[in-house]
Amino acid sequence: MQGPGPALFGILNVTPDSFSDGGDFLDPEAAARHAAGMLEEGADAIDIGGESTRPGSDPVTEEEELRRVVPVIRAILQAHPDAGVSVDTYRASTAEAALEAGARIVNDVTALRGDRRMAALVADAGCPLILMHMLGEPKTMQKEPRYDDVVREVRDFLARRADHAIAAGVDAENVALDPGIGFGKTLEHNLALLRNLEAIVGLGFPVLLGASRKRFLGRITGTEEAKDRVFGTVATTVLGYERGATLFRVHDVRANREALAVAEAVWRV
């Protein structure tokens, strides 16, 4: 997964209810056009999700997720055969269909806990795998999340899940870790994870940060509309980069690409 420099995943939610762009890209053609725009702005990959994982959300059926995701992957790769496509799913059946359609990365917000078949599928496919920390499940994760030490507990969880993936045959070179900003965390928990990101980077796997447009940023900046939280997102991208994150999952590709370019220029020695 690890390329020469930082990599940007452009977010493409093919859902009616994603917290910031729900319903915008349900139509495969509209989705493919948006993906093309993000690739032109410098996205290294497109992360496609067919089920919202916002706080309080309900799962969709496997059939519905497949119906949403696979046609969009096909439409994107038809127009951009070399595009890197990541599928944001915890279902092995969706990941399998997405890989068959040309996706190259699996992004599992449950860190292989959502479907016992996922580890073997990814191991057989030999593809990169993103393992994310989530406290509980989207429906209830924001109801008073509590930790003794959020950084230590998230770090230890991710270390255990990486061990589990590798024991199941996933190549260690293909594992990336993600603290799961906003997934069962208060504002203070999110800030502690950002401030101490090196603790997770220190596990030795590429770290992905997915803070884009999230609610905690609105709490800090007073920006009510999720779509307007670009500047706060850019701040987390630069802070995350300076603390060792190299993968960034964002809605607003150009803004984050340009911020990363400046951060890279400063720190590239």
Ligand X SMILES: Nc1nc2ncc(COP(=O)(O)OP(=O)(O)O)nc2c(=O)[nH]1
Stretch that binds ligand X, among 18-26, 28-36, 37-45, 156-164 (CB under 6 A): 18-26
The CA distances from residue 263 to 11, 28, 43, in Å, are 22, 35, 17
The two structure tokens encoding residue 192: 């502690």
Q: Does 210 bind ligand X (CB under 6 A)?
A: yes
To the query of whether residue 139 is one of the catalytic residues in this protein, the response is: no
Q: What is the DSSP letter of 83?
A: -
Q: Does 89 bind ligand X (CB under 6 A)?
A: no
Give the one residue of 54, 91, 133, 161 binding ligand X; rule: CB under 6 A: 54
Q: Does 161 bind ligand X (CB under 6 A)?
A: no
Shortest distance (Å) from residue 66 CB to ligand X: 17
Q: Which is nearer to ligand X, 125 or 216 (CB)?
A: 216
To the query of whether residue 214 is one of the catalytic residues in this protein, the response is: yes
Sign of the C-alpha dihedral, residues 232, 238, 243, 244? Answer: positive
Q: Does 34 bind ligand X (CB under 6 A)?
A: no
Q: Does 174 bind ligand X (CB under 6 A)?
A: no
Give the one residue of 15, 89, 196, 233 binding ligand X; rule: CB under 6 A: 15
- Cα–Cα dist 159/94, whole Å: 25
Among candidate residues 250, 237, 160, the one with its CA nearest the CA of residue 205: 160
**Interface mask toward ligand X for 216-255; x: CB under 6 A:** ---------------------------------x------
- For 188-234, the DSSP string reads HHHHHHHHTHHHHHTTSS-BEE--TT-HHHHHHH---SGGGTHHHHH
**Which residues does the annotation mark as catalytic?**
214, 249
